[in-house]
Structure 1
Amino acid sequence: MIGTLIGGIVGAAVALLFAPKSGKDLRGNLNQGASDVRGRASEWKNVAYEKGSDLKDKAYVKGSEFKSKALDSTSQMTKNFSEKTQDLTKTVQSKIQDKRNKEDEAEEAAEEVAEAIEEAAEELEKK
Protein backbone atom coordinates (compact mmCIF):
# COMPACT_ATOMS: atom_id res chain seq x y z
CA MET A 1 0.00 0.00 0.00
CA ILE A 2 2.83 2.34 0.91
CA GLY A 3 4.54 1.58 -2.39
CA THR A 4 1.35 2.50 -4.24
CA LEU A 5 1.08 5.82 -2.43
CA ILE A 6 4.75 6.68 -3.02
CA GLY A 7 4.42 5.67 -6.66
CA GLY A 8 1.35 7.87 -6.98
CA ILE A 9 3.13 10.87 -5.50
CA VAL A 10 6.20 10.40 -7.72
CA GLY A 11 3.96 9.94 -10.74
CA ALA A 12 2.04 13.10 -9.90
CA ALA A 13 5.25 15.09 -9.55
CA VAL A 14 6.61 13.81 -12.88
CA ALA A 15 3.27 14.51 -14.51
CA LEU A 16 3.36 18.11 -13.23
CA LEU A 17 6.82 18.65 -14.66
CA PHE A 18 6.23 17.10 -18.07
CA ALA A 19 2.49 17.62 -18.58
CA PRO A 20 1.30 19.27 -21.77
CA LYS A 21 -1.91 20.36 -20.01
CA SER A 22 -2.58 23.57 -18.20
CA GLY A 23 -2.07 23.73 -14.45
CA LYS A 24 -5.81 23.81 -13.71
CA ASP A 25 -6.54 20.73 -15.85
CA LEU A 26 -3.53 18.91 -14.45
CA ARG A 27 -4.53 19.65 -10.83
CA GLY A 28 -8.03 18.38 -11.58
CA ASN A 29 -6.61 15.14 -13.02
CA LEU A 30 -4.26 14.75 -10.06
CA ASN A 31 -7.11 15.31 -7.61
CA GLN A 32 -9.18 12.72 -9.46
CA GLY A 33 -6.24 10.27 -9.40
CA ALA A 34 -5.69 10.87 -5.68
CA SER A 35 -9.38 10.29 -5.04
CA ASP A 36 -9.22 7.03 -7.02
CA VAL A 37 -6.17 5.90 -5.02
CA ARG A 38 -7.96 6.74 -1.74
CA GLY A 39 -10.98 4.72 -2.90
CA ARG A 40 -8.86 1.71 -3.81
CA ALA A 41 -6.95 1.94 -0.52
CA SER A 42 -10.25 1.98 1.34
CA GLU A 43 -11.43 -1.10 -0.61
CA TRP A 44 -8.15 -2.92 0.14
CA LYS A 45 -8.50 -2.02 3.80
CA ASN A 46 -12.01 -3.47 3.87
CA VAL A 47 -10.90 -6.65 2.09
CA ALA A 48 -7.93 -7.03 4.45
CA TYR A 49 -10.24 -6.52 7.45
CA GLU A 50 -12.72 -9.13 6.20
CA LYS A 51 -10.00 -11.67 5.44
CA GLY A 52 -8.35 -11.03 8.79
CA SER A 53 -11.68 -11.51 10.54
CA ASP A 54 -12.30 -14.75 8.62
CA LEU A 55 -8.82 -16.04 9.46
CA LYS A 56 -9.31 -15.12 13.12
CA ASP A 57 -12.59 -17.05 13.20
CA LYS A 58 -11.01 -20.08 11.49
CA ALA A 59 -8.06 -19.98 13.90
CA TYR A 60 -10.46 -19.87 16.86
CA VAL A 61 -12.43 -22.85 15.53
CA LYS A 62 -9.27 -24.86 14.83
CA GLY A 63 -7.85 -23.96 18.23
CA SER A 64 -11.05 -25.12 19.88
CA GLU A 65 -10.95 -28.38 17.90
CA PHE A 66 -7.31 -28.99 18.87
CA LYS A 67 -8.08 -28.24 22.51
CA SER A 68 -11.02 -30.64 22.44
CA LYS A 69 -8.93 -33.37 20.81
CA ALA A 70 -6.12 -32.84 23.33
CA LEU A 71 -8.56 -33.08 26.25
CA ASP A 72 -10.12 -36.23 24.76
CA SER A 73 -6.70 -37.80 24.23
CA THR A 74 -5.61 -36.91 27.76
CA SER A 75 -8.83 -38.30 29.17
CA GLN A 76 -8.45 -41.53 27.18
CA MET A 77 -4.80 -41.91 28.20
CA THR A 78 -5.72 -41.35 31.85
CA LYS A 79 -8.51 -43.91 31.58
CA ASN A 80 -6.21 -46.46 29.91
CA PHE A 81 -3.50 -45.85 32.52
CA SER A 82 -6.03 -46.25 35.32
CA GLU A 83 -7.37 -49.51 33.83
CA LYS A 84 -3.87 -50.90 33.36
CA THR A 85 -2.94 -49.93 36.91
CA GLN A 86 -6.04 -51.64 38.27
CA ASP A 87 -5.32 -54.78 36.22
CA LEU A 88 -1.74 -54.83 37.43
CA THR A 89 -2.86 -54.36 41.04
CA LYS A 90 -5.32 -57.24 40.72
CA THR A 91 -2.62 -59.46 39.22
CA VAL A 92 -0.17 -58.64 42.02
CA GLN A 93 -2.84 -59.21 44.68
CA SER A 94 -3.72 -62.56 43.08
CA LYS A 95 -0.07 -63.66 43.08
CA ILE A 96 0.35 -62.59 46.70
CA GLN A 97 -2.78 -64.54 47.67
CA ASP A 98 -1.49 -67.61 45.81
CA LYS A 99 1.82 -67.39 47.71
CA ARG A 100 -0.03 -67.04 51.01
CA ASN A 101 -2.16 -70.09 50.16
CA LYS A 102 0.98 -72.09 49.32
CA GLU A 103 2.62 -70.91 52.55
CA ASP A 104 -0.47 -71.93 54.50
CA GLU A 105 -0.46 -75.35 52.80
CA ALA A 106 3.25 -75.79 53.54
CA GLU A 107 2.69 -74.78 57.15
CA GLU A 108 -0.17 -77.29 57.49
CA ALA A 109 1.98 -80.00 55.92
CA ALA A 110 4.84 -79.15 58.32
CA GLU A 111 2.45 -79.34 61.28
CA GLU A 112 1.16 -82.74 60.08
CA VAL A 113 4.73 -84.00 59.73
CA ALA A 114 5.57 -82.65 63.21
CA GLU A 115 2.47 -84.38 64.66
CA ALA A 116 3.38 -87.61 62.89
CA ILE A 117 6.92 -87.41 64.30
CA GLU A 118 5.55 -86.75 67.80
CA GLU A 119 3.18 -89.72 67.51
CA ALA A 120 6.00 -91.91 66.25
CA ALA A 121 8.22 -90.72 69.12
CA GLU A 122 5.46 -91.44 71.65
CA GLU A 123 4.96 -94.94 70.24
CA LEU A 124 8.66 -95.62 70.44
CA GLU A 125 8.72 -94.53 74.04
CA LYS A 126 5.85 -96.85 74.80
CA LYS A 127 7.69 -99.81 73.41
Structure 2
Amino acid sequence: MSNNNNNNNNNQNIDSKDFMIGALVGGMLGAAAALLLAPKPGKELRSDLNEQAVYLKDKSTEISQIAREKSSNIVKTVSEQSNQVATKVKDLTSNLRKDIDKWRAKEEENASELYGEITDDIEDEMQKDYDDVREQELVEQKY
Protein backbone atom coordinates (compact mmCIF):
# COMPACT_ATOMS: atom_id res chain seq x y z
CA MET A 1 0.00 0.00 0.00
CA SER A 2 2.85 2.34 0.77
CA ASN A 3 4.20 1.70 -2.70
CA ASN A 4 0.89 2.98 -4.13
CA ASN A 5 1.09 6.10 -1.94
CA ASN A 6 4.60 6.83 -3.22
CA ASN A 7 3.45 6.49 -6.86
CA ASN A 8 0.47 8.77 -6.24
CA ASN A 9 2.69 11.38 -4.57
CA ASN A 10 5.19 11.23 -7.45
CA ASN A 11 2.38 11.58 -10.03
CA GLN A 12 0.90 14.53 -8.11
CA ASN A 13 4.33 16.18 -7.90
CA ILE A 14 4.86 15.73 -11.64
CA ASP A 15 1.35 17.00 -12.42
CA SER A 16 1.88 20.02 -10.15
CA LYS A 17 5.26 20.69 -11.71
CA ASP A 18 3.81 20.50 -15.25
CA PHE A 19 0.97 22.77 -14.25
CA MET A 20 3.36 25.36 -12.82
CA ILE A 21 5.56 25.30 -15.96
CA GLY A 22 2.48 25.64 -18.16
CA ALA A 23 1.12 28.52 -16.10
CA LEU A 24 4.48 30.30 -16.21
CA VAL A 25 4.87 29.88 -20.03
CA GLY A 26 1.24 30.86 -20.60
CA GLY A 27 1.64 33.97 -18.45
CA MET A 28 4.75 35.01 -20.39
CA LEU A 29 3.01 34.49 -23.75
CA GLY A 30 -0.03 36.41 -22.54
CA ALA A 31 2.12 39.32 -21.39
CA ALA A 32 3.95 39.44 -24.74
CA ALA A 33 0.66 39.37 -26.64
CA ALA A 34 -0.77 42.14 -24.46
CA LEU A 35 2.26 44.34 -25.16
CA LEU A 36 2.14 43.69 -28.90
CA LEU A 37 -1.61 44.12 -29.24
CA ALA A 38 -2.07 47.07 -26.90
CA PRO A 39 -4.50 49.59 -28.46
CA LYS A 40 -3.18 52.83 -29.82
CA PRO A 41 -4.76 56.25 -29.31
CA GLY A 42 -7.78 56.94 -31.56
CA LYS A 43 -6.08 59.31 -34.01
CA GLU A 44 -3.08 57.03 -34.47
CA LEU A 45 -5.31 53.96 -34.90
CA ARG A 46 -7.48 55.72 -37.52
CA SER A 47 -4.35 56.85 -39.37
CA ASP A 48 -2.95 53.32 -39.39
CA LEU A 49 -6.29 51.93 -40.56
CA ASN A 50 -6.47 54.49 -43.39
CA GLU A 51 -2.92 53.68 -44.47
CA GLN A 52 -3.71 49.96 -44.46
CA ALA A 53 -6.94 50.55 -46.40
CA VAL A 54 -5.12 52.54 -49.08
CA TYR A 55 -2.38 49.91 -49.23
CA LEU A 56 -4.93 47.09 -49.57
CA LYS A 57 -6.86 49.04 -52.24
CA ASP A 58 -3.66 49.60 -54.26
CA LYS A 59 -2.60 46.00 -53.79
CA SER A 60 -6.03 44.66 -54.86
CA THR A 61 -5.98 46.91 -57.95
CA GLU A 62 -2.51 45.65 -58.83
CA ILE A 63 -3.50 42.03 -58.30
CA SER A 64 -6.68 42.38 -60.36
CA GLN A 65 -4.69 43.98 -63.20
CA ILE A 66 -2.15 41.15 -63.12
CA ALA A 67 -4.99 38.63 -63.06
CA ARG A 68 -6.62 40.29 -66.11
CA GLU A 69 -3.32 40.26 -68.01
CA LYS A 70 -2.62 36.64 -67.17
CA SER A 71 -6.14 35.53 -68.03
CA SER A 72 -5.91 37.44 -71.31
CA ASN A 73 -2.61 35.71 -72.07
CA ILE A 74 -4.09 32.35 -71.16
CA VAL A 75 -7.11 32.94 -73.41
CA LYS A 76 -4.81 33.96 -76.26
CA THR A 77 -2.54 30.94 -75.77
CA VAL A 78 -5.46 28.51 -75.54
CA SER A 79 -7.03 30.03 -78.64
CA GLU A 80 -3.79 29.73 -80.62
CA GLN A 81 -3.20 26.18 -79.48
CA SER A 82 -6.76 25.11 -80.24
CA ASN A 83 -6.43 26.62 -83.73
CA GLN A 84 -3.18 24.71 -84.23
CA VAL A 85 -4.79 21.49 -83.06
CA ALA A 86 -7.79 22.06 -85.34
CA THR A 87 -5.48 22.67 -88.30
CA LYS A 88 -3.48 19.53 -87.53
CA VAL A 89 -6.68 17.48 -87.25
CA LYS A 90 -7.92 18.84 -90.59
CA ASP A 91 -4.58 18.06 -92.25
CA LEU A 92 -4.47 14.56 -90.79
CA THR A 93 -8.07 13.92 -91.85
CA SER A 94 -7.36 15.16 -95.35
CA ASN A 95 -4.23 13.02 -95.62
CA LEU A 96 -6.09 10.02 -94.27
CA ARG A 97 -8.87 10.46 -96.84
CA LYS A 98 -6.29 10.72 -99.63
CA ASP A 99 -4.55 7.57 -98.41
CA ILE A 100 -7.85 5.70 -98.21
CA ASP A 101 -8.82 6.85 -101.71
CA LYS A 102 -5.43 5.73 -103.05
CA TRP A 103 -5.80 2.38 -101.30
CA ARG A 104 -9.31 1.91 -102.71
CA ALA A 105 -8.15 2.77 -106.24
CA LYS A 106 -5.23 0.37 -105.90
CA GLU A 107 -7.46 -2.38 -104.55
CA GLU A 108 -9.96 -1.82 -107.36
CA GLU A 109 -7.11 -2.02 -109.87
CA ASN A 110 -5.78 -5.17 -108.20
CA ALA A 111 -9.26 -6.66 -108.15
CA SER A 112 -9.73 -5.83 -111.82
CA GLU A 113 -6.36 -7.39 -112.71
CA LEU A 114 -7.16 -10.45 -110.63
CA TYR A 115 -10.57 -10.75 -112.28
CA GLY A 116 -8.89 -10.52 -115.67
CA GLU A 117 -6.35 -13.19 -114.74
CA ILE A 118 -9.06 -15.49 -113.38
CA THR A 119 -11.25 -15.09 -116.46
CA ASP A 120 -8.23 -15.64 -118.72
CA ASP A 121 -7.34 -18.80 -116.76
CA ILE A 122 -10.94 -20.03 -117.02
CA GLU A 123 -11.04 -19.33 -120.74
CA ASP A 124 -7.71 -21.15 -121.19
CA GLU A 125 -8.99 -24.16 -119.21
CA MET A 126 -12.24 -24.16 -121.16
CA GLN A 127 -10.30 -23.98 -124.43
CA LYS A 128 -8.09 -26.89 -123.30
CA ASP A 129 -11.15 -28.89 -122.33
CA TYR A 130 -12.77 -28.03 -125.66
CA ASP A 131 -9.61 -28.98 -127.53
CA ASP A 132 -9.38 -32.25 -125.59
CA VAL A 133 -13.01 -33.04 -126.30
CA ARG A 134 -12.58 -32.12 -129.95
CA GLU A 135 -9.44 -34.26 -130.21
CA GLN A 136 -11.28 -37.14 -128.55
CA GLU A 137 -14.10 -36.80 -131.05
CA LEU A 138 -11.68 -36.83 -133.95
CA VAL A 139 -9.98 -39.94 -132.62
CA GLU A 140 -13.34 -41.65 -132.18
CA GLN A 141 -14.37 -40.70 -135.69
CA LYS A 142 -11.21 -42.20 -137.16
CA TYR A 143 -11.74 -45.51 -135.49
Is the TM-score greater than 0.5?
yes
**1:20-35 map, 5 Å:** 20=40, 22-35=41-54
Distance in 2 (alpha carbons) for counterparts of 1:24 and 1:77: 78
2:62 is matched with 43
Distance in 2 (alpha carbons) for counterparts of 1:105 and 1:26: 114
**1:42-61 map, 5 Å:** 42-61=61-80
Identify which of 80, 99, 102 aligns with 1:80. Answer: 99
Q: CA deviation at 1:61?
A: 0.5
Question: Which residues of structure 1 form unaligned runs of 5+?
Answer: 1-13
CA RMSD of aligned residues (A): 1.8
Q: CA deviation at 1:118?
A: 1.8
Normalized against structure 2, the TM-score is what?
0.67
Distance in 1 (alpha carbons) for counterparts of 2:51 and 2:65: 21
Identify which of 78, 82, 95 aligns with 1:63. Answer: 82
The answer to whether residue 117 in structure 2 is matched with residue 98 in structure 1 is yes
Q: How many residues matched? A: 108
Question: Which residues of structure 2 form unaligned runs of 5+?
Answer: 1-33
Q: CA deviation at 1:115?
A: 1.8
Percent sequence identity over aligned pairs: 18
The answer to whether residue 129 in structure 2 is matched with residue 110 in structure 1 is yes
SS in 2 for 1:18: coil
Distance in 2 (alpha carbons) for counterparts of 1:76 and 1:121: 66
Runs of 4+ displaced beyond 4 Å: none
Q: CA deviation at 1:122?
A: 2.0
The answer to whether residue 38 in structure 2 is matched with residue 18 in structure 1 is yes
Normalized against structure 1, the TM-score is what?
0.75
1:57 maps to amino acid: K
Q: CA deviation at 1:52?
A: 0.5
2:6 is matched with none
Q: CA deviation at 1:65?
A: 0.4
Cα deviation 1:73-96 (Å, max 9, x = unaligned):
122122212212221222122112
